[in-house]
């Protein structure tokens, strides 16, 4: 067994991928690397293999010829082939193309019910990635380079140099696609491969191996750092909320690493400037009672107040208003609102569920609306004679701004009778005994 076949066989054993019922998806461009990987997998295993190919269409007929070559190669090997064309509306950039490829891979993962996508990244790719990250700015996490396994992605050729792969392919008479754009130095990775690496090899002929050694060292160091940060987070956080005062008690280097981890665990792009901006936002907001939010992505936000910080989806739920004119059950979004008559003599009411309220509706017109807050809403807080704006009431309850739009209220006109989960209006408080029981709960199975 040659070195490449042996390496792949060992890789499959290491990650427990030898079960015969597993379906292998192979990202297949038809170049030296992916052709070598596909051919070797066919040689060393008997699993079902599907080659998945995304035609970028950026080089017109050349792209179409490459797709046809890939299809014919798979047909000759007896391997299933699946392809799609890239949406031509996306930007013609390396980043956009990469993002589109990985979305395609994830789509194929669902289509073929497989959690195994092999990509043909090699040792040279890893070195080029590290050089790129160093040029653009990175930390210990980025110096780890390309991972051999992440989520559904597996990279069995990562320890093999590109030269070895090309020799393997030539020995077997494989004729890969030669992408003409690989020599276009307007693409940063091509510039690194064709211009920078040759100069570095003049300094150290073994620079590819040296850079990959740096990658391994960074992986070991990062493991130690992550263990330490996880231990710290265990002491300063609860249910994904990080205690602000405890966070600020640590050195700035630890604070930076915690913020780094927030970006990494949420698969967000980051750089030194972004980390500093987030830290400055935390410092500026740490004394805010109601709290503020800072955008991380279009739908992911960092919320900070005087007590804690957390990652949140700011997007509020949009409920359709529900009109209530009789006892019964009413659906609102994923919830059921129930209003029922209640005539029992109860001295103590349970307080363990804030979504249940016992009220007196005896002198109230039975026309209510269940909805989210609106401008102009008022409430007569329990135990108070006068009314106040709902906004002031929610602030007094210290409800974070990003949570206010997700609250539900039982109302009459602009008057809130029950701020669900927070409290009832003094207008429907129990005089002698309750007339009705109100309850909000999630639908079964949700």
Walking along the chain (446 residues) 10 residues at a time, the average pLDDT comes out as 92 94 95 94 94 86 89 94 84 80 94 96 97 89 93 96 92 81 81 95 97 96 94 90 95 94 82 88 85 77 88 69 93 89 73 82 91 93 90 87 83 94 92 89 70
pLDDT for position 298: 67
Per-residue confidence (pLDDT) for residue 256, from 0 to 100: 93
**What integer pLDDT is reported at residue 297 of this predicted model?**
76
Dihedrals phi, psi of 61, to nearest 5 degrees: -65, -30
The pLDDT of residue 303: 85
Report yes or no on whether pTM surpasses 0.75: no
Query: What is the fold, at CATH topology level, of the domain defined by 3-210?
Result: Rossmann fold (3.40.50)
Q: Which CATH architecture has domain 239-312?
A: 2-Layer Sandwich (3.30)
For 416, the enclosing helix (H) or strand (E) is: strand 415-419
Query: How far are the Cα atoms of 37, 43, 161, 446 from residue 8, in angstroms, in the given order?
Result: 8, 10, 14, 43
Neighbour-count burial of 340, counting CB atoms closer than 10 A to its CB (0-12 exposed, 13-18 middle, 19+ buried): exposed
Looking at residue 302, its pLDDT comes to 87
pLDDT at res. 60: 74
Domain boundaries, the chain: 3-210, 239-312, 322-442
Residues 260/268, Cβ–Cβ less than 8 Å: no
- pLDDT tens-digit readout, 260-273: 888 888 878 777 88
Three-point CA angle 437, 442, 444, nearest 5°: 115
- In three-state secondary structure terms, 357 is strand
131-162 pLDDT, tens digit per residue, is 999 998 888 888 999 999 999 999 999 999 99
């Amino acid at each position: 067994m040659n070195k490449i076949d042996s390496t792949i066989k060992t890789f499959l054993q290491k990650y427990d991928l030898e079960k015969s019922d597993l379906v292998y998806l192979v990202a297949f461009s038809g170049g030296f690397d992916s052709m070598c990987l596909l051919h070797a997998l066919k040689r060393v295993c008997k699993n079902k293999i599907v080659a998945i190919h995304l035609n970028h269409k950026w080089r017109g007929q050349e792209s179409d010829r490459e797709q046809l070559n890939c299809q014919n190669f798979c047909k000759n090997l007896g391997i299933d082939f699946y392809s799609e064309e890239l949406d031509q509306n996306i930007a013609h950039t390396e980043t956009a193309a990469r993002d589109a490829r990985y979305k395609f891979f994830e789509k194929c993962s669902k289509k073929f019910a497989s959690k195994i996508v092999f990509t043909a990244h090699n040792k040279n790719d890893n070195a080029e990635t590290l050089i790129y990250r160093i040029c653009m700015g990175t930390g210990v996490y980025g110096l780890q380079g390309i991972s051999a396994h992440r989520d559904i992605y597996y990279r069995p050729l990562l320890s093999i140099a590109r030269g070895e792969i090309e020799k393997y392919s030539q020995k077997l008479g494989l004729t890969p696609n030669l992408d003409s754009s690989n020599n276009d130095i307007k693409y940063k990775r091509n510039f690194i491969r064709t211009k920078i690496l040759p100069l570095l090899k003049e300094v150290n002929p073994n620079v590819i191996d040296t850079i990959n050694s740096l990658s391994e060292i960074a992986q070991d160091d990062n493991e130690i750092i992550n263990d330490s940060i996880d231990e710290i987070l265990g002491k300063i956080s609860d249910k994904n909320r990080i205690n602000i005062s405890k966070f600020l008690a640590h050195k700035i280097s630890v604070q930076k690493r915690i913020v780094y981890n927030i970006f990494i665990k949420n698969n967000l792009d980051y750089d030194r400037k972004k980390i500093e901006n987030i830290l400055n936002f935390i410092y500026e907001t740490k004394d805010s009672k109601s709290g503020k939010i800072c955008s991380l992505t279009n739908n992911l936000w960092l919320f900070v107040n005087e007590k804690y910080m957390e990652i949140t989806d700011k997007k509020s739920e949009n409920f359709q208003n529900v009109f209530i004119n009789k006892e019964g059950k009413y659906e609102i979004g994923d919830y059921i609102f129930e209003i029922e008559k209640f005539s029992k003599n109860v001295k103590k009411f349970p307080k363990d569920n804030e979504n249940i309220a016992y009220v007196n509706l005896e002198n109230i017109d039975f026309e209510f609306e269940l909805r989210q807050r609106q401008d102009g809403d008022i409430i007569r807080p329990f135990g108070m004679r006068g009314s106040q704006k709902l906004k002031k009431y929610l602030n007094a309850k210290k409800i974070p701004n990003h949570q206010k739009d997700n609250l539900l209220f039982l109302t009459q006109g602009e008057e809130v009778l029950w701020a669900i989960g927070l409290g009832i209006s003094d207008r429907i408080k129990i005089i002698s005994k309750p007339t009705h029981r109100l309850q909000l709960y999630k639908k079964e199975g949700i």
